[in-house]
A and B are shown apart, each in its own frame.
Chain A
Amino acid sequence: MKSKRESTADKLTNFLFTIPAVVLYSIFFIYAVIVGVNYSFTDWNGIAKTYNYIGFENYKSLFENQYFWNTLWVTVKYALLLVVGVMITSLILALCLNSIKHLKTLTKSIFFIPAMIGGVTISLIFDQIYYRLVPVIGEMLGISALSQSPLASAKTALIAVVFVNVWQAVAMPTMIFMAGLQTVPGDLYESAMLDGATTFQRFRYITLPYLMPTFTINMVLTIKAGITSFDYAYALTAGGPSRSTTVIGISIYNDAFNNMKFSLANAEAVILFIIIALLSLIQIKISSKGGVN
């Protein structure tokens, strides 16, 4: 092997190749994680010169606080709505787009446009549409629930925020599903047809098993995006009205920078860390099983 011929200079080159990355990653990632976990055990407000270690007090006060439970509940609802909205829409869209014959490339390109636009930009655009267009539509249709921007009511704000997120987040899973559909062997459909399988049966027993790996990928990506989301709710509602859209990302930001509870916000972040780490482990478990691959 080449290792026999490897000179000292080559060894040095390889080592030097790793240095900038390792240094940057150590300072701005690993060190930051350690500092963050450390803060979560203090009473620091983010500004004072000194702070004390208070053990698990921050965690204790979080779990005793009904606002925090509310935040977790909102986050779960947000993630669930996002997953349901994204998975169903993208799967249907992928099946539809995959089977059209005319203008396929153009149509596909248009459906991917949302992935190009920033989350804040699209949120601000929908903010205006909700504010100016929805009441007009509501009046036309005579629906009193639509007489004002859906963002203004605690009942509808979360759905309105997730809708914007879905609008943007559907593009990528749709393309991944379409790539997954390419792996389904065409002759399987033919023999199923000969056996008299209905369209639904073909979908259920042929398409779906072959889509399982892509299904897992999309599911995991969307769950993570839902649990850690920030941009949409921050730009649209900043967490209101009455905390109905305060997902944990917003809560961490507000507690740290607006409520002077810097160390408490770090504890919230650590809890989020544990949730995401557990999800990642489950993801690895599932994807090592896989479907048809």
Chain B
Amino acid sequence: MKKEGLGWRIARDIIILLGLILILAPLYIVIINTFKDLEQASKGFFLFPEQWKFDNYVELFTKNNFWTYAKNSTIISVVAIILVAVINPAISYAIARNFHKKYYKAVYFYIILGLFVPFQVIMLPLTKIMTNMNLLNITGLIILYVALSLTKGVFMFVNYIQSLPLEIEEAARIDGCNTFQVFTKIIWHLIGPMLATLVVMDVLWFWNDFMLPLLLLNKTQDYWTLPLFQYNFKTEYSFNYTMAFTAYFTCMFPVLVVYAIGQKHIIAGLTAGAVKS
């Protein structure tokens, strides 16, 4: 084992401690101030509330159409991720097992081309295309998420499926399974780890995304997602910041709960995904 000097250990612990403070302090400030009114908050940002108040939460949950935005965000994230989790493995399986054929190889490189294109290039034309197709709504946003998930998804899955052994599939075919059954009964189970990575990456993207909802949904308040609501809240509640903090905290709360439960898998999955793309 590596023996470490005392100096290095002290420096290391100080750095980690500073890092922890830097990460946790903003979160602490947000959470602690959601339980205060403005008068209490003005006495000190860091202080515990003298009296725990839930007025901000009551106001958030009863006014502002909060539940409409939460519902929109949930529908978009859930429907989009289901479609993403079906379409990406399906096309990747077809490509991976037919890579020797011209069509599939061409499709692969056609879709991988997207890796070179920054989002800003398609952002403006998309607003026009979506307007013309009458898709400036939640359905349109879901379709876009599925379309834009493909480059990274196909890139991740094709290599992964090619690395899976063929023997199990061969055996299944001898038992009389056709391609569709091989996919649903066998491949579907073998791609689990990669699928988990894709789902975590893309759910976080859909839930936290600001850019696409801003482009597509900002004009119709009934279609707002939670990030749009938070952003528009800024202008409305810039003075009432404990209220604003309540909105911010409530929006990240579901993600933090899921993270607390599955952090090990989430970290591993996201790291693998980042290295892949």
**B148 interface neighbour in A29, A109, A112, A167, Cβ under 8 Å:** A29
Taken residue by residue from 61 to 94, chain B's Cβ proximity to chain A (1 for < 8 Å, 0 otherwise) reads as 0000000000000000000000000011011011
| Contact (Cβ within 8 A) A252 B123 | yes
CB-defined contacts of B113 to chain A, threshold 8 Å: 30
**A117 interface neighbour in B5, B179, B255, Cβ under 8 Å:** B255
Cβ < 8 Å to A, chain B residues 16-61: 16, 19-20, 22-24, 26-27, 29-30, 45
List the count of A-B residue pairs having beta carbons below 8 Å apart.
Answer: 264
Closest to A118 in B: B208
**B120 interface neighbour in A13, A95, A125, A248, Cβ under 8 Å:** A248
CB-defined contacts of A270 to chain B, threshold 8 Å: 121
User: Which of the four size classes fits the interface of chain A?
Assistant: 35 or more
CB-defined contacts of B19 to chain A, threshold 8 Å: 93, 96, 111
B190 at the interface (CB under 8 A from A): no
Considering the chains assembled together, what is the distance between the CA atoms of A129 and B107 in angstroms?
Answer: 48
A183 at the interface (CB under 8 A from B): no
| Contact (Cβ within 8 A) A35 B128 | yes
Considering the chains assembled together, what is the distance between the CA atoms of A199 and B94 in angstroms?
Answer: 51
CB-defined contacts of B255 to chain A, threshold 8 Å: 116-117
Closest to A276 in B: B118
CB-defined contacts of A252 to chain B, threshold 8 Å: 120, 123-124
Residues of chain B touching chain A, judged by Cβ–Cβ distance below 8 Å, are: 1-5, 8, 12-13, 15-16, 19-20, 22-24, 26-27, 29-30, 45, 87-88, 90-91, 93-95, 97-98, 100, 103-104, 107, 110-111, 113-126, 128-129, 143-144, 146-148, 150-151, 154, 166, 169-170, 173, 178-180, 183, 204, 207-211, 227, 230-231, 234, 241, 244-245, 248, 251-252, 255-256, 259, 263-264, 266-267, 270-271, 274-275
Q: Can you list 22 residue pairs at the A/B interface with Cβ under 8 Å? A: A7-B178, A18-B91, A18-B94, A24-B143, A25-B147, A29-B150, A46-B128, A99-B4, A110-B20, A115-B270, A116-B259, A117-B252, A120-B230, A124-B234, A167-B22, A167-B26, A175-B271, A199-B5, A217-B275, A248-B120, A252-B123, A269-B120
Pairs of residues from A and B, 4 with the lowest C-beta to C-beta distance, nearest first: A118-B208, A28-B147, A17-B94, A32-B122
